[in-house]
Amino acid sequence: MLARAPQQSVVHSRQITTRAAAKKLFNEYPFSFSLACILILTGAGSLLYTTYVYNTYIVANLHNFPEPVANKLRRALFYSNQDVNPKKAVDYYRQALAVADEIGMDPFSDEILGTKIALAALMEKVNQHQKAIDILEIVRADCKKWLQTTGEQEGHEADRTRVLAKTVAISVKLGDLYANEYIADQDVAEKNLIEGVEIALKEQRRREDEGVLDAEGPWMSNEEMGGALESLANHYEQKDQHYLAAPLYLQCLSLLPQTSCHAVVLMNNLSISLAQQIPPPTSATPPPSRSALVSSARTWAQKSLSIAAGIKPPERNEECDVGCAVATHNLGEFAEMDGDIAEARRRYDEAKGLSQAIGFRGGVERAEEGLGRVEKSTG
């Protein structure tokens, strides 16, 4: 059975660069590198969560806040990012929210919701994960209540779309927080991830069945929808529920342009998920054979290489380069599993060359180990 990277490795990788973490994880868990890579990127996204909220809802939109509120937020930002002092930053965030309430700002505007989310992100940044969860749980509960009351009223269609999308994003983020090593409540994490995905898909289906009202505005983008699905797929993969992860990875791929390096990573994830899965038996349909699963895994690994070969700079990035080395190595592993030693040797040689070209030491070492195995088997 193929190994996978433990959650702890992924969480700790946030303290170092994505490149260094990716190489370390492949060195320790070769088969799981593609999965680990995408989880590292998800972790990096969590680390950039605060920056995104600041730029989208606060820094770029300070002119949308009344000056008394903007003044407090400037101080909160200063103590969050420059002269870092979490206690003072939290105090100024709270003051900003209090002033906003006093002067009658809409509590469900992007600006106020963004401020609350930024406060939760600050708590995560300083390792106060339970406080971050508590804040987001309150914000989500408030959003749900608004959606059930004001959001159903005529004239609030656009606001409903916006608040519903925030509810999805918060649910997915809560899934990430509950799953991390500090909270480690995988059942609650799964519940939140499923809730976020179900809300997103339900709204999408409603629009497809009933049509979109002019005032509603667009729903979540393909990238946003794919991100929610991918988070749930990663969760299932960590639980060794590969048969649940694989269709979600496939659905994510259907939402992405096939000329992106992230599609290369997803194809590698799908490949590894297929190679590892043991579907639960059902009375109606027998599970696919092991050879069939490995064959499908090989097909997706080969497709990832084909897609990556057509991606040129500036669109091409390190996801593509390292993804190619990993896919090539795993093709060697699949060939070795099938007893095709000549093909395994060829793939390991190729993976070694690719890894050397990009300075991927872990890839070189693993390829050399593979070459050593095949040489020993023929010796």
pLDDT tens track for 249-303? 999 999 988 888 889 989 988 998 898 887 776 657 777 888 888 899 999 999 9
* Dist. CA 57–CA 74, nearest whole Å: 13
* Dist. CA 233–CA 238, nearest whole Å: 9
Name the residue type at position 373. R
CA-nearest of 266, 355, 302, 372 to 23 is 355
* Dist. CA 115–CA 121, nearest whole Å: 10
pLDDT beneath 50: ranges in the chain:
1-51
Number of H helices, E strands in the chain: 17, 0
Max Cα–Cα distance, the chain, nearest Å: 81
Q: Where are the beta strands (DSSP E) in 260-339?
A: none
Burial of 154-173, coded b for 16+ CB within 10 Å and e otherwise, reads: eebbebbbbbbbbbbbbbbb
Helical (H) or strand (E) element with 52? helix 49-53
So what's the pLDDT on residue 344?
A: 93
So what's the pLDDT on residue 57?
A: 57
* Dist. CA 316–CA 203, nearest whole Å: 34
3-state secondary structure of 149: coil
Q: Which value, in Å, is the radius of gyration of the alpha carbons in the chain?
A: 23
* Dist. CA 95–CA 91, nearest whole Å: 6
Token digits of residue 296: 């499908």
* List of residues 6+ apart from 63 with CB closer than 8 A: 70
So what's the pLDDT on residue 164?
A: 96
